[in-house]
Structure 1
Amino acid sequence: MSQHNSALSASFSQFLQGAKDSQVIIFTYLPVSFAFGVSATQFGFSPWEALFLSCTMYAGASQFLVVALLASGSSIWMAALTVIALDIRHVLYGPALYNLIQDRLNLKKTALWSWGMTDEVFASGMIQLSQRRQQWTESWMLGLSLFSWLSWSLGSLLGGLFANQITHLPLFMQAALDFLLPALFLSFLLAAFEKKHTLVVVVTFISAALACYWINLSAAIFLGILSGIAAGLFEYYVLKAKHKNREVA
């Protein structure tokens, strides 16, 4: 019994640590989700509908696109397919984390924290696994993802409730709300960056930039993802294989 209580205590402590580590995400999610609540209200949605979208959809920046599409008369199926296309990258997040996880996973916990796998939560998990592997646990991941999700939902509700007050903010603060989310993810990307990732980052950036200039932003997202995957596969199966063959020779 004492061992069981000790395990529960350790798990709860790790959960609290995950909640604590989510603060950097929370402080950015709150203003961005607040902006979403304001945007949803301006498109005709109620504050509670904005909350419902954030609780069930939880797609970050894609939620802004969804409310705009629905408000413009697009069908719910078109909105759903658009979001799936924009967020298809999330399919890769699970396998990427799984390759670094050494512990045996608990199916119930995994189902819960994987629901909250946003870009920022994924980046935090990757940093923890790559730099502080011994401190990563599912309880930590659960605390991180749960409190990030709660902050996003809360911010959406508050934005919807106080949408009429947003016009009283200075213009520079209104403009800053739109940049907080990409700025947060960029900070995580820079924190996780290592020299061995240079090829993948450079190829992805160039491909996305060219696609954005010559085609459009949606194409830039898709081509950036595909080129990054291709660069990673090339580096792993071709460049590393040649390096190993030279060492053997």
Structure 2
Amino acid sequence: MAQQESARRGTRREIGAGLSDSLGVGIGIAPLGVALGVLVVQSGLPWWLAPALSVGIFAGSVELLLVSMLAAATPLLTIAVTVFAVNFRHVFYAFSFPISRVRPGLPRAYSVYAMIDEAYATYVLLPESRLSSARMVTGQLAMQAYWVGGGLVGVLIARALPHPIRGFEFALVALFVVMTLDAVRGKREVPSALLALLSVGVAFLAAPDQALLAALIVFTALLAGRYALTRSRAAAVSPDEAASPSVVEEDRDA
């Protein structure tokens, strides 16, 4: 009995830690969920699409993008390829995410499904010795609850407003503008921003009707080329030069 009580106390402690992990994330997730709910209603889509997207997809930027694409009757193939391209980064998250700390079965399957950017940033930085299945799954469940709850609040707000909020569809654009500005504060990301700008220009010239999809493809190709060029330059550096701090700094800024 004493062991069982100790185990229950340990589980409750881990659940509390998971809820604590999610608080800082929830401050940022909930307002975006509200924006999703408002955008769904103002786009003329059924209100239940907000919680359906939040439960079925659970990827903030993609959900906001999907609302705009669904409202514009975008072809299904374009939607599928765009979602794949935007969320492809999650494939690489699995290489370093401490998924082994989550109990196999349904908990681990959910943890993989809910491996959003915020969950990855939260748990990949913590020592694995401090992680448990209960803590990680609780934290991820709470993060999704913030998102779903925010979306429902946004739906209620939008349906209570006498008139639509003009320009609210710009919310997704504003989100990515802020993310871009935050990324280019360091010189290291300036080349990526320039490549993105070049990709958009090429896309509008080559495929104006499918500019978003074309820009994603061009940008991916340019990033792959940049990576190959950087690796080839690093391989051409001699071992003595590679040890030089100036050379290391130059490669880092590349």
Q: Is TM > 0.5 for Structure 1 vs Structure 2?
A: yes
**Where in structure 2 are the equivalents of 1:71-86 lying within 5 Å?**
71-86=71-86
1:30–1:155 CA contact under 8 A, matched in 2: yes
User: Counterpart of 2:204?
Assistant: none
* Segments of 4+ moved more than 4 angstroms: 164-168, 173-187, 223-232
Q: TM-score, normalised by structure 2?
A: 0.69
Count matched residues: 223
The separation in 2 between residues aligned to 1:154 and 1:88, in whole angstroms, is 26
**Where in structure 2 are the equivalents of 1:1-249 lying within 5 Å?**
1-98=1-98, 105-108=102-105, 109-128=107-126, 132-164=127-159, 202=188, 205-216=189-200, 218=216, 222=220, 226=224, 234=231, 242=239
1:212–1:219 CA contact under 8 A, matched in 2: no
User: Counterpart of 2:246?
Assistant: none
Question: Cα 1:63–1:2, aligned 2, differ >3 Å: closer, same or farther?
Answer: same
How many angstroms does 1:181 deviate by? 8.5
1:22–1:148 CA contact under 8 A, matched in 2: yes
SS at match of 2:58: coil
Q: Identity, % of aligned pairs?
A: 24
1:86–1:221 CA contact under 8 A, matched in 2: no
How many angstroms does 1:123 deviate by? 0.8
How many angstroms does 1:161 deviate by? 1.8
How many angstroms does 1:7 deviate by? 2.8
Structure 2 unaligned blocks of 5 or more: 201-214, 244-254
How many angstroms does 1:4 deviate by? 4.2
The separation in 2 between residues aligned to 1:152 and 1:185, in whole angstroms, is 22
Q: Describe the superposition over 1:97-124 as per-residue Cα deviations: whole angstroms up to 9, x where unpaired.
A: 24xx7x6652122212222111111111
The separation in 2 between residues aligned to 1:166 and 1:225, in whole angstroms, is 44
Which has more radius of gyration?
A: 2
2:30–2:146 CA contact under 8 A, matched in 1: yes
The separation in 2 between residues aligned to 1:165 and 1:126, in whole angstroms, is 41
RMSD of the TM alignment (CA)?
4.0
The separation in 1 between residues aligned to 2:43 and 2:219, in whole angstroms, is 26
1:36–1:159 CA contact under 8 A, matched in 2: yes
Structure 1 unaligned blocks of 5 or more: 190-197
The separation in 2 between residues aligned to 1:161 and 1:126, in whole angstroms, is 35
The separation in 2 between residues aligned to 1:119 and 1:219, in whole angstroms, is 22
Question: Cα 1:85–1:55, aligned 2, differ >3 Å: closer, same or farther?
Answer: same
Q: Describe the superposition over 1:8-37 as per-residue Cα deviations: whole angstroms up to 9, x where unpaired.
A: 431331122111121111111111110011
How many angstroms does 1:44 deviate by? 1.5
How many angstroms does 1:77 deviate by? 3.9
2:65–2:172 CA contact under 8 A, matched in 1: no
Question: Cα 1:167–1:185, aligned 2, differ >3 Å: closer, same or farther?
Answer: farther
User: Counterpart of 1:194?
Assistant: none
Q: Describe the superposition over 1:133-187 as per-residue Cα deviations: whole angstroms up to 9, x where unpaired.
A: 432222221121110001101111111121155799x99x998897678879999
1:28–1:184 CA contact under 8 A, matched in 2: no
Question: Cα 1:138–1:226, aligned 2, differ >3 Å: closer, same or farther?
Answer: farther
How many angstroms does 1:83 deviate by? 0.7
